[in-house]
């Protein structure tokens, strides 16, 4: 019995000694199989488009396929929840944006996870403004003229968004509150349907994502009045910013980043970060992003938690002011 106890103890000690070595070898060999990228949105939106662009190039860079897995639903909670429950070995990552973490942290009364502590931030990859667009039939050519028209309608004016509490909704509410306007909100299931409603004259304005509206603007079917960032966008350099258009301090940036579950090892995070920085810095990727109205941007992993907390505070204030809430 004593011999068995000694052997058992020896096996336990050996396992404890070898475990870190095995983990280190696994990290050095990373990735040895395909990586899954969760996209908590339906196909076709800007996050899906960016996710696929990144996945294709990251797979080539890593030498292993990066498989896009669309998991939309429940305001991105389904996809995000899958990530929080995944093994933090680097084989499950996600593309996120300001909705998935910064907005949802305040919009939902109870989240099944912590938007900062339950994730590992790897880097940002892109950012883009929203674009305020109207139908060509609307007799306005500037934000000032639009504001005057809305006021003249006495509350009989509506705007479309991609859903309650989304950034399109919050951008419209920010404009409504800043200009003291009376408008009704009509939510749709995504930017595409909201833009389609605008084309059909079912709503008066939409703060759209760039990919959903850019083609319609260039085709002359929609008129772009402003972008929501503090500087103009290279894809539509003649379109002024909201701040230039008389709505001071209007600054909403739709960013996209790559995250994983909490507890990812530093070597794996560093490898992913290094590869993503190379991808976003490439002239080819920057050109592809520019075609979507986006620009490349990165953020070191150690700065991600601070960035996320500041975004939660900033957008949380907008959520509360708009009155949007999901129980």
pLDDT-derived band at 16, boundaries 50, 70, 90: very low
Contacts of 242 (CB under 8 A, 6+ apart): 132, 143, 175, 226, 227, 228, 250
Query: Does 97 share its domain with 120?
Result: yes
pLDDT, one tens digit per residue, over 20-74 is: 444 444 456 899 999 999 999 878 777 888 899 999 999 999 999 999 999 988 8
Query: Does 59 share its domain with 206?
Result: no
Q: Which residue has the higher pLDDT, 22 or 117?
A: 117
Q: Which residue has the tokens 């894809």?
A: 235
Query: Does 137 share its domain with 285?
Result: no
Would strands 222-227 and 119-135 be described as parallel, antiparallel, or unpaired?
Answer: antiparallel
Given a cut of 60, whether residue 15 has pLDDT beyond it is: no
8 in a structural domain: no
pLDDT, one tens digit per residue, over 217-264 is: 999 999 999 999 999 999 899 999 999 999 999 999 889 999 999 999
Predicted local distance difference test score (pLDDT) of residue 27: 58
Q: What angle do CA 112, 114, 115 make, to 5 degrees?
A: 115
13 in a structural domain: no
Query: Does 179 share its domain with 91?
Result: no
pLDDT, one tens digit per residue, over 192-220 is: 889 999 999 999 999 998 888 999 999 99
27 in a structural domain: no
Domain that holds residue 77: 33-127+253-322
Pick the last residue of a domain from 227, 261, 283.
227
Mean pLDDT of 176-186: 94
240 in a structural domain: no
307 in a structural domain: yes
Query: Does 195 share its domain with 151?
Result: yes
234 in a structural domain: no
Given a cut of 80, whether residue 301 has pLDDT beyond it is: yes
Query: Does 123 share its domain with 258?
Result: yes
Query: Does 174 share its domain with 309?
Result: no
End-to-end CA distance of the chain: 59
Query: Does 40 share its domain with 69?
Result: yes
Query: Does 261 share its domain with 115?
Result: yes
Predicted local distance difference test score (pLDDT) of residue 247: 95
Mean pLDDT of 98-111: 90
C-alpha to C-alpha distance for 17 and 245, rounded to whole angstroms: 64
Given a cut of 60, whether residue 272 has pLDDT beyond it is: yes
Pick the last residue of a domain from 227, 245, 273.
227
Query: Does 145 share its domain with 202?
Result: yes
14 in a structural domain: no
Report how many domains make up the chain.
2
Q: Which among 273, 270, 263, 269 is positioned nearest to 117, based on CA atoms?
A: 263
Query: Does 114 share its domain with 138?
Result: no
Read off the CATH number of the domain in which 164 is found: 3.40.190.10
112 in a structural domain: yes
Q: Coil, strand, or helix at residue 242?
A: coil
**In whole numbers, what is the pLDDT of the chain averaged over residues?**
89
Query: Does 135 share its domain with 223?
Result: yes
Read off the CATH number of the domain in which 72 is found: 3.40.190.150
Q: Name the strand (E) or helix (H) holding 258.
A: strand 253-261
pLDDT, one tens digit per residue, over 154-172 is: 999 999 998 888 899 999 9
Pick the last residue of a domain from 181, 210, 227.
227
Predicted local distance difference test score (pLDDT) of residue 152: 96
């Amino acid at each position: 019995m004593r011999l068995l106890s000694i052997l058992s103890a020896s096996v336990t000690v050996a396992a404890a000694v070898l475990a870190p070595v095995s983990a280190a070898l696994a990290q050095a060999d990373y990735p040895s199989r395909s990586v899954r990228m969760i996209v908590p949105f339906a196909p076709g939106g800007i996050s899906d488009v960016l996710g696929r662009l990144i996945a294709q190039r990251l797979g080539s860079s890593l030498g292993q396929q990066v498989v896009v897995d669309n998991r939309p639903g429940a305001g991105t909670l389904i996809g995000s929840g899958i990530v929080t429950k995944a093994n933090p070995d680097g084989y499950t990552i996600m593309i996120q944006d300001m909705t998935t973490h910064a907005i949802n942290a305040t919009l939902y009364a109870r989240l099944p996870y912590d938007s900062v502590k339950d994730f590992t931030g790897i880097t940002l990859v892109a950012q883009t403004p929203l674009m305020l667009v109207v139908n060509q039939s609307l007799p306005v050519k500037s934000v000032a003229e639009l504001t005057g028209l809305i006021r003249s309608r006495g509350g009989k004016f509506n705007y479309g968004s991609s859903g309650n509490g989304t950034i399109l909704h919050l951008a419209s509410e920010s404009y409504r509150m800043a200009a003291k306007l009376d408008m009704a909100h009509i939510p749709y299931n995504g930017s595409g349907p909201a833009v389609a409603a605008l084309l059909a004259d079912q709503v008066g304005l939409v703060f759209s994502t760039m990919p959903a509206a850019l083609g319609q603007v260039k085709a002359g079917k929609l008129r772009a009045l402003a972008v929501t960032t503090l500087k103009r966008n290279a894809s539509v350099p003649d379109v002024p910013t909201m701040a230039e258009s008389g709505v001071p301090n209007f600054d909403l940036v739709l960013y996209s980043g790559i995250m994983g579950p909490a507890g990812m090892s530093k070597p794996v995070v560093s490898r992913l970060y290094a590869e993503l920085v190379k991808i976003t810095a490439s002239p080819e990727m920057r050109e592809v992003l520019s075609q979507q109205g986006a620009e490349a941007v990165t953020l070191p992993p150690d700065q991600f938690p601070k960035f996320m907390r500041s975004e939660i505070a900033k957008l949380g204030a907008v959520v509360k002011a708009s009155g949007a809430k999901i129980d």
